[in-house]
Structure 1
Amino acid sequence: MLNNLKIGSKFNLLLILVFIISICLSGAILSSLLQQRAQNEVSSQALILMKTMNAVRSYTQDRINPLLAPQLETGTAFIPETVPAFSATEVFENFRKTEGNENFLYKEATLNPTNLRDKADDFEAQIVERFRRETQTKEIVGFRTLPEGEVFYIARPLAITQKTCLRCHSTPELAPKSQLITYGTKNGFGWQLNEIVAAQIISVPSQRIFNYAQSSWSLIMGLLIAIFTVVLFLINFLIKKTVIQRIKKIEKIAQKVSTGDMSADFDETSKDEIGGLAAAFNRMKASLKIAMDMLNQQGY
């Protein structure tokens, strides 16, 4: 079938095939790069927020807790600001009140929390249990679908590393009276030193960033297709102008010569391959004319 096609048609088919392969490869590579860039962006946002919350926790533990801890024994109401987890959560809630940050989430998901606000759901409980089983695992990342949309999360284990923390979480008898008045005696006790009791989880909305990456992919692919199309038509025009039409001209003259019209010349002044072909045809025509004249002189 291909043998029956003209050179122009064959060349167009080859260009179209190259065009399709190039677009497919470019689209796949571009999509992978944009997806990776989008994931790096949401991961970077989550890491910055994680570091910020850890800074709040450290400040509360080192500066706020020593100032307010004595009041826990004498006060009638517990002062939650002495708890690093509470401070970090409250600061993050203030961050979420800023326009555009509503879907960012922070939670120190705990299996047995003092404040039930920190109670781990089934998904979060699985993360905590995994940290307990895989003690060498220091970070878990992934995607999760929430009512707010798809989010990218980073989770890190939280363990009891200071004996002072056990004062509020070992037994009710050792806990500050104000804590028992506020939260009761049933939750947040029985913790052990160096035990992983929670997972610190930052969730960053990712749908908007990935949608933007998809839009960028569509725009760039549209531009590439437009550019490839223009290049295809331009190459096709140049090939037709510089090759096909000149070959057709040589073909027509050759047909005239084949019917005995020796007045037709292969008029090509170009020094390229087609010009060389025309010159060869002219020499062949001259040789053919000489041969025919000789035959005529001999009476054939």
Structure 2
Amino acid sequence: MNRTRFANGRLGTRLAVYFALWFLLAGAATIIVVNMVMRERALSEARDKARIILDHNLAVHTYFTHQLKPHILPVAEQNISEEYFDPVWMSSTYAVREIYDYFRELAPRDYYYKECAINARSPQNEADEFEKAFLRRLNRNSGLEQKTVVRDINGKPYFVLLRKGEQMQKSCLRCHSSPQKAPQDMVDAYGPSRSFGRDQGEVVSAISIRIPLEQAFGQVSRITWIMSGGLAAILVLLYIVVYVLNHRLLFVPLRTMAAKARLIAERKEHLGDEVDIPKGKEMREIALALNCMSKRLREHVDDLEGQVQDRTDVLSKVNAMLHQEMDERQKAAQELQNYASQLEHLARTDELTQAFNRRHFLRELEKEADRAKRYGRPLSLAILDLDYFKDVNDTYGHAAGDAVLQALTAACRSVLRTQDVFARMGGEEFAVLLPETSTDGAGQVAERIRELIQEMDVQADDGQVVQFTASLGVASLDKEDDYEVEPLLQRADRALYAAKNAGRNRVVTL
């Protein structure tokens, strides 16, 4: 309802809403893009800082490995024993850590650098769970070199760089294979359990760098809010300008022409009136077209009034003829419908007894058998045959026989349900279809019918009372059967013959 009311509302209101929505969408899109670019710039700067820290410390490692140790070791080996160990000049990792600690004291920043390892020699280099997971992936995937991710640590965002570190070389196994082979001073310094049991080729360390993003992201948020306020002010100003221009140049002239057009449309005396010509080429063309239309309408109305009266007289005559023809067709259609109903009734009922005929009964039997099979419900059938009916016709006449058949039909219907089907199969033979009725239930129904027939009295034309009996054969289908119609009919027929052979006036169930 609200959407329809808006679609049918004033053009000015709709355009104002559309302009506002487009301005808002454009501003929001601009702010989102700028925010994304600035955040990406902050991440790029963090990535560059991490690279600088990494390159600096790798340079320290390179200096230790290629310059310091090669110059000191030949001299030191002449004056120290194999058990000697001093990490100050023998461990580049120790040196990098100490230099980084001095760097943080001189220039305090929330940077993080660690050459981490699992079971590191120094507890200060022990990897946390995130770093341990990266080290395990390095040893599973030889092609992995580094990983970058933005992590939230203690409620603050950090840019995290993890890079593949040292692989265990054969020359390093003396200090990392077992405590017995390592220098005793090293074992005394770090203990007999840390950083031992390494294998050749194993990635034993990774470089972990964290660059804080909180300040950069906060600056991005501040700039985003400043931009949002500025854009909002600009959009509001543009919206006001557009609204005022549209109001003066478009909506006021349109409302004036709409009011005049409404008068021309609603009041006959205003036909031929003209509207003032507004400014603007498009609005002027609309006004000229409206004035031309008003004049033409005045001319057409004057010409049409006489024609309308003539046409009205002709249409009245034609309308009367159409009503007469429609009445005749409705009568014919009703007669056809009544005739069709009679034909349908005759096609499925027996003319004498008004019970269903054999064809309708067999069709209903097929349908009920399918339904019983689909839902797994029982279905029973009883075939009824009057005993010695030929004697009734011979003794009392065919009129009495017909009366017996009619009375039998009425009596049987009185004890059957609405869903049961009672049909005359031919002559004095009838059939009863009992849906959702078991063998025991069908036998009880058949027995009630037999007792009812035995107690009936039908008066012949000469006043004599005709009494008669019937034999019934009952057969049923249940979920153990195949639900085939023909075997069911045959079983019921055999049951009927068994009842006749057993002395008639009885019910036999098979």
TM-score class, shorter-chain normalisation, is 0.7 to 0.9
Q: How does 1:168-207 map to 2 (within 5 A)?
A: 168-207=175-214
Structure 1 window deviating more from structure 2 (146-155 vs 228-237): it is: 146-155
Can you list the C-alpha shifts for 1:136-177, whole angstroms capped at 9, x where unaligned? 211122233445943221112223354433343234444345
SS of residue matched to 1:196: coil
Q: Determine which of 17, 21, 24 is the counterpart of 2:25.
A: 21
Residues 54 and 254 of structure 1, relative CA distance in 2, 3 Å threshold:
same
TM value normalised by structure 2:
0.50
Contact 2:168/2:199 (8 A) holds in 1: no
Residue in structure 2 matched with residue 298 of structure 1 by the alignment: none
Q: Determine which of 265, 286, 292 is the counterpart of 1:277.
A: 286
Contact 2:271/2:297 (8 A) holds in 1: no
Q: Determine which of 3, 12, 34 is the counterpart of 2:38.
A: 34
Partner Cα separation in structure 1 for residue 120 and residue 64 of structure 2: 19
Contact 1:65/1:82 (8 A) holds in 2: yes
Residue in structure 2 matched with residue 241 of structure 1 by the alignment: 248
Residue in structure 1 matched with residue 119 of structure 2 by the alignment: 112
SS of residue matched to 2:200: coil
Letter in 1 for 2:163: R
Residue in structure 1 matched with residue 166 of structure 2 by the alignment: 159
Matched, 1:268 2:275: no
SS of residue matched to 2:198: coil
Partner Cα separation in structure 2 for residue 151 and residue 25 of structure 1: 26
Partner Cα separation in structure 1 for residue 179 and residue 262 of structure 2: 110
Compute the displacement of 1:282 (Å). 4.7
Residues 126 and 287 of structure 1, relative CA distance in 2, 3 Å threshold:
closer
Compute the displacement of 1:56 (Å). 1.1
Can you list the C-alpha shifts for 1:77-97, whole angstroms capped at 9, x where unaligned? 614233121122222222222
Contact 1:78/1:182 (8 A) holds in 2: no
Q: Which runs of 5+ in 2 are unaligned?
A: 302-510
SS of residue matched to 1:80: helix
Q: Which runs of 5+ in 1 are unaligned?
A: 293-300
Structure 1 window deviating more from structure 2 (9-18 vs 32-41): it is: 32-41
Residue in structure 1 matched with residue 16 of structure 2 by the alignment: 12
Residue in structure 1 matched with residue 415 of structure 2 by the alignment: none
Partner Cα separation in structure 2 for residue 149 and residue 205 of structure 1: 8
Partner Cα separation in structure 2 for residue 203 and residue 22 of structure 1: 36
Structure 1 window deviating more from structure 2 (56-65 vs 132-141): it is: 132-141
Residues 286 and 154 of structure 1, relative CA distance in 2, 3 Å threshold:
same
Contact 1:143/1:150 (8 A) holds in 2: yes
Can you list the C-alpha shifts for 1:95-116, whole angstroms capped at 9, x where unaligned? 2224451x11111111232222
Partner Cα separation in structure 1 for residue 154 and residue 283 of structure 2: 69
**Aligned residues: CA RMSD:** 3.4
Aligned residues: 292
Residue in structure 2 matched with residue 295 of structure 1 by the alignment: none
Letter in 1 for 2:276: F
Compute the displacement of 1:211 (Å). 2.0
Partner Cα separation in structure 1 for residue 248 and residue 261 of structure 2: 20
Partner Cα separation in structure 2 for residue 67 and residue 167 of structure 1: 21
